[in-house]
Amino acid sequence: MIFLSTLLLFPDCSQTTRCQSKKTILKEYWDEIEKLRRDLRAAREKNGVIISEESHEEFQRNAEKVNELEQQLNGAVDRLRRYTEDLLYMVQLYERNGELESRLRESRREYAEKVVELAETNDVLNKHIEAIGVMRKVDDMGAADDRNKDIFDAFVRKAHAARSEELSKQLTEKLAEIKQQVAAFADDVRPLLTEIRNTTSDSFEKRVQQSDKNAAEAKKTCSGMAETLKMLMQHVEQLSVKAEENHQRQLIDNQNTQESILSTINAAENVVQSVEDVIEECC
C-alpha cells in the first residue's frame, strides 16, 4: 500500500522534490521493493506445514495471487525504473532549462550594457567628429587669415609705395617750382645789377634808394620763398606723421588679428583636449 500510494504521488514530482532530494525518493522506492521481495520470499519458504486440503487449495490460490502480485511487482519495478529514468531526464532538462534561462538573463543584461555602451560611444564619436570639423574650420580660418594678411601687406606696401612716390613727386615739383622762382629772381636781379653798374652817373641818393628798393624786393622774394619752403616742410612732416600713424594702426590691427587667431586656435585645442579626455574615460 505504501508503494502504491507512492506511485500515485509520483506524477506530482515537482512538489515532492521541493521537500526531498532525488536520492531520498529513489532510496524509499528501493527499500519498499526489497521489503515486498522479502515478504514474497518468506511466503514461498513457508512449506512443509501440515494443513487441510481447503487450506492447501487456499494456499495454492494465494500462491497464484502471489505469483500474479510478483508479476505486477516486476511490472511496477519496470515502470518505476522507466519513471526514474524519465525523472532523471526531466531533472536534467529542468537543470538545463535553468542554465539556459540564466544564460538568457545574462545575455539580456550584457545586451543592455552593450546598447548603453554603444550609445555612449556614438555620442563620443559625434563629439570627436564635431571637434575635427572645428579644427578644420580653424585651419581654414588660419589659411584665410594668412591669405588676407598677405593681400593686406601687399596692399599696404603698394599704398605706401604709391604714397611715397606721390610725396617724392610733390617734393620734386616744389623743388622745381623753387628753382624756377630762384631763377626768376636771379633774372630779375641781374638786370637791376647791370643797371646799377651802368648808371654810375646817377646821383648817390637815387642809387641808394634803388638799391634799398631792390634789397626790399629781394628780401620780400626771399621771405616768400622761405614761407613756401616752411609750408612745404610742414606738409611733408604732416604726411610723414600720417604715414607713421597709418603704419602703427596697421601694426595694431595685425596684432589684434593674430591674437584673435591664437585665441580661436587655443579654444579649438581645448575642445580637442576635452574630447580626448572623454574618449580616454570611455575607453
* Tens of pLDDT, residues 56-73: 676 677 778 778 878 888
Please report the pLDDT score of residue 18 as a whole number.
Answer: 47
Q: CA quadruple 22, 24, 25, 27: dihedral positive or negative?
A: positive
Please report the pLDDT score of residue 264 as a whole number.
Answer: 63
Please report the pLDDT score of residue 49 as a whole number.
Answer: 45
Please report the pLDDT score of residue 33 as a whole number.
Answer: 79
Please report the pLDDT score of residue 131 as a whole number.
Answer: 82
Could you give the 3-state DSSP secondary structure of residue 155? helix
Return phi, psi of residue 212, to 5°: -65, -40
Please report the pLDDT score of residue 238 as a whole number.
Answer: 73
Please report the pLDDT score of residue 257 as a whole number.
Answer: 67
Spans of the chain, pLDDT less than 50: 1-19, 47-51, 200-201
Nearest Cα residue to 159 out of 258, 257, 243: 243
Please report the pLDDT score of residue 27 as a whole number.
Answer: 78
Please report the pLDDT score of residue 267 as a whole number.
Answer: 65
d(CA 80, CA 6): 11
Please report the pLDDT score of residue 13 as a whole number.
Answer: 46
Radius of gyration of the chain (CA): 65
d(CA 129, CA 124): 9
- Name, in order, each residue with C-beta under 8 angstroms of 6's C-beta and a sequence gap of 6 or more: 28, 29, 32
The cell for 138 is 580653424
- Render the burial of 54-70: b for 16+ CB within 10 Å, e for the rest: eeeeebeeeeeebeebe
